[in-house]
Chain A
Amino acid sequence: MAGTLTRPTRTVFRRPSSTDGFWGWVTTTDHKRIGILYGYSAFFGFLIGGIEALLIRLQLARPDNDFLSAAEYNTLMTTHGVIMVFLFVMPMAAAFFNYLLPLMIGARDVAFPRMNALSFWIFLFGALFVSSSFIFGTAGAPIGGNLPGGAETASWLGSGPNGGWFGYAPNSLTTYSPGSAMDYYTVGLQVLGLASLISSINFIVTILNMRAKGMKLLRMPVFVWMTFVTAFLLLFSLPIITAAVFMLMFDRQFGTVFYDAAAGGDPVLWQHLFWLFGHPEVYIIVLPAMGIVSEVLPTFSRKPLFGYSAVVFAGAAIGFLGFGVWAHHMYASGITPVAQAAFGLATMTIAVPTGIKIFNWLGTMWGGKIRFTTPMLFAIGFVSLFVIGGLSGVTHSIVPSNWQQTDTYYIVGHFHYVLFGGAVMGLFAGLYYYFPHLTGRMMNERIGKLQFWTMFTGMNLTFAPMHWLGLQGMPRRTWVWFEEMGRGVGLWNLVATIGAFTIATSVLIFAINFIRSKRNGTIAEIDPWDARTIEWSLPLPVPAYNFAETPTITKLDDFWHRKYGEDDEGRAVPRPDLAEYLARLVEDGRNPKEVIHLPAPSYFPFLVGVGIFFLAYGLAYLAAGTGLPLLVTGALIMIGSFVGWSVEPLEEPHDSQEVDAV
């Protein structure tokens, strides 16, 4: 491959060859390491978003509370949404995609390793950019309005983006949201979207082109399928939100009037564009978790996934239908009755493939030998809680009834059952399941179960009451509620606050378990869960080169079939030489027969990220007049790095990557 290309052997920078230490991580192009970087960053986002949630719940614990000011509440509510969606769930899913995808399809790495690193660094610098709004951002009253105490701008806690994660125009325009806070939102979302867009293309190409021999599409693990569907959702939905925030940025920075009704613009256009992205986004968030659960349930039921092709096609169907239901976020916005009815019916249809998935998961467990390990508990929790989120979701298709529930806590309760009960529980199932893969050690099961029950209880305490709060009339996004809303509202707000702290406790338990187990956990043998898919045929922790020899796939759940046969009744029977087979896998996996060429590390993805970081500040402050130097600096760094990227040698000639096992 390298021989056919004429490449320079030196550029400005030596191509890095070391994989150790800080620079080893900064320049890495190893999909597993990038996955780990994503994972830690995302978990950090989870902690920040979680602390914000606790502050919000403290404020709402009693009526007319003054723990937070209106400005602080609005910023916390906005950034809680932005952080949890863009800086936690999406990158955590990306962590799993990055880490697992090549392993599950028997590939050496993703199709474009440097682009993979690039998406991480753009994501990270985008995340830092958005978060820095708390330090550098300013927010105030609408132009002409007055802040309490005659203040010019809100406190630091109230100076982040404050127009809701949905950023509805015209409230997000400069007239109503002066200051730079919302510029961090418009620019930040473009940067974060770029990161996801790059990785989605990378994943699609990887899945289509890099599968091992015999890994036909319908032999891929369901997780890979869900990655595939998610990547397409990202590919088609991110350009929409990018266009939407691009126009919003122009309205704010350059005086265009896309959303300004006073000048003939259309604020409802923003809603259509936002939800045309926002609804597929829901599936972007939940499909990866569905993929994880579809791997965990069969393993611990010791049965294949029930109705594999039905689950795969249902996932794809959800992806397609997800683009046709966006206006169910807008029934009350004044769209015509025909549109309301059509989107109501379309919303109903999504319940069908979702139901198919649920029933097939139940079918998977039915007749199995269920082992209640921690990952399995989280997967079962996912199924149970997702059913609740799904059922309350069906009520949104009942348009006239939704006129009452929309914009109330009923919706908040519903989508947290989907996003927390669904996505978060699924991601935790994945963290426990794949922990041995990452570290070569097992997570502590006893603490893990304690965490599950704490989180499961806390989650229900927090979000179930929100349905009743909404039905009893508590609107969303208000920094205070008032006593006349009734005793029910008082009771359930208090319960939800207690629940939020219960969840926080469970996250703390997880962190302790993670740190403890990483240091002193039981050493994981190969295939600790007796799993079904080929990533478990690797020695743990996984060598940098993944498979010493690229596997050849003959069946769905190939690894399982190499371990087990079936008797006349169809019961699994371990192969007589199972123990020797596993020992041989470890031996062979750690001792490749030939030199394996891996993608070489590179400085440039990181440097492009640095350029985009400056560029983002430049854009956000362009109208303010201070942005231009930053913009130019950022653009120069970015363009220079792209040039360096395109001419750097494939690898340093003298430090060719010898295989270093483990």
Chain B
Amino acid sequence: MNRIRGFGRLVPLAVMAVVLAGCSLTIQDGVLDSLAPEGPIAEDLAGLYWLVFWIATGVFVLVQGGLVYLLIRFRARQGDESEPRQVHGNAKLEVVWTVIPILILAAIAVPTVSRVFKYTECAPDAYHVDVIGHQWWFEYRYPEAGIWTANELVIPTDQEVCLSMESDDVLHNFWIPKLNGKRYLVPGQETTLLMLADEPGEYFGHCAEFCGLSHARMRMRVIAKEPSDFEAWLAAQDLPAVEPTAGSLEAEGLELFNSLACSACHLIRGVNNSSVSNVIAIGPELTHFASRGSFAGSTLEAEDPDALAMWLADPPQWKPGSFMPDLDLTPAQIEALVAYLRSLD
């Protein structure tokens, strides 16, 4: 009887675990929750997962239920000295439990294969954006508009966006869970990934392939805008950077940008270059830095007044391995640079 209580104790535990799990899956307040999809592709993928989840749950309940049942029914009872029949097997049963899984698998193979092809290739009328992975930030180039940006990928809604991706250094992996699954960025090879959002909004992402020291600090966002807003955004991004008024704190920041090491790696159109052509990006393009909601691999919020100062004071502290070094800036220099960068909308 001891044993039965042993297994009996498991039942409430298991029930509790399932209930807790269920609750936690209904919370869905996470920004990367793949089971709370918001775009049509991600919804389709989640639907496929749930289909298989329920089939698997059925199998799980049958097998584990059968296991618990037989453990209770066929336990050795005290005082019962009889021996069991020495059954060696049953050919019919072997066929049954070989064929049934094959049929189940064949059934889920159909939607699997069809979606592989559906979501791997871009439609000819898709809007194209080039994505380049760097340690540890994503760069976006809009070939039609001739603009570059970083960390936050802005796309139009209701329009298939085709990302042509490549890496500048190690492997990275572009993943916006609420819009689509993942795809690697490989140095020397182009990969493609579809993005499709039917609602305007901000969708969070995370580099999903281990890419060295600061893999955890490599995130990104997709900002979906109504087509008209998207056009307006493109037009605004095409303008050169705003010029600060002479004598202001911002102007002091611009001065520092040019005199310190900043301009060796970062591009501000109208300041250290007139166009984006023929430039190799080492750090993110900053022409319209203040139009973005986040920076430092989308790990810091632009609206947080202290975040930018903290970042400038010691980048490797926040992003170990960072190619932007600690420049030993004075608080006054940081203040000026922050003011200038925040003016670049």
Contacts and interface: CB of A to CB of B under 8 A. Distances in A.
Interface of A: 69-71, 74, 141-142, 144-150, 163-164, 168, 170-171, 175-177, 261-262, 264-268, 301-304, 306-310, 332-334, 336-337, 340-341, 344-345, 348-349, 351-352, 355-356, 358-360, 362-363, 365-372, 380, 383-384, 387-388, 391-392, 394-395, 397-408, 449, 453, 457, 460, 464-465, 468, 471-482, 484-489, 491-492, 564, 566, 569-574
A399 B53 contact: no
Given A404-B181, A471-B34, A146 B323 contact: yes
A146 B214 CA distance: 11
Interface string B9-51: 0000100010001001101111111110000001011101100
B246 interface: no
B317 A488 contact: no
B225 to A, nearest CB: 21
11 contacts: A145-B322, A150-B316, A176-B212, A307-B88, A332-B183, A332-B208, A334-B191, A395-B49, A398-B112, A406-B208, A460-B17
B279 interface: no
B157 interface: no
Which 4 pairs, one residue from A and one from B, show the smallest C-beta to C-beta distance? A403-B181, A473-B32, A486-B30, A261-B188
A19 B173 CA distance: 56
B208 A407 contact: yes
Given A304-B86, A464-B21, A572-B86, A148 B320 contact: yes
Contacts of B67: 362, 365, 380, 383-384
A37 to B, nearest CB: 35
Contacts of A177: 212
B101 A351 contact: yes
B215 A478 contact: yes
A307 B90 contact: yes
A469 to B, nearest CB: 10
B105 interface: yes
Contacts of A569: 85
A5 B184 CA distance: 61
Contacts of A306: 87-90
Contacts of B97: 355-356, 359
Contacts of B116: 337, 340-341, 344, 399-400
Contacts of A363: 87, 89-90, 93
A141 B94 contact: no
Contact of B320 (A69, A262, A478, A488): A69
Interface string B69-80: 011001110001
A387 B25 contact: no
Interface stretch (B56-64, B143-151, B229-237, B248-256): B56-64
B341 interface: no
A485 B89 contact: no
A486 B32 CA distance: 8
Given A171-B171, A387-B64, A468-B21, A485 B213 contact: no
Contact of B175 (A468, A475, A477): A475
Nearest to B35: A471
B33 A401 contact: no
Nearest to A486: B30
A261 B27 CA distance: 43
Query: Which of B98, B209, B299, B314: most chain A Cβ within 10 A?
Result: B209
A478 B216 contact: yes
Given A262-B187, A570-B85, A145 B321 contact: yes
B112 A302 contact: no
Contacts of A146: 315-316, 321-326
Contact of A405 (B34, B86, B105): B34
Contacts of B120: 336-337, 340
A171 B93 contact: no
Contact of B56 (A349, A394, A404): A394
Given A71-B213, A369-B80, 12 more contacts: A144-B323, A146-B322, A344-B109, A356-B97, A370-B74, A372-B6, A403-B182, A468-B25, A473-B30, A475-B32, A488-B28, A488-B29
A367 B321 contact: no
B261 interface: no
Contact of A369 (B34, B74, B177, B180): B74
Contact of A404 (B29, B66, B182, B317): B182
Nearest to A393: B56
Given A176-B170, A261-B187, A341-B117, A71 B320 contact: yes
A149 B28 CA distance: 38
B233 to A, nearest CB: 24
Contact of B66 (A149, A362, A372): A362
A267 B320 contact: no
A421 to B, nearest CB: 13
A324 to B, nearest CB: 15
Contacts of B186: 261, 267-268, 333-334
A355 B183 CA distance: 31
Nearest to A70: B320
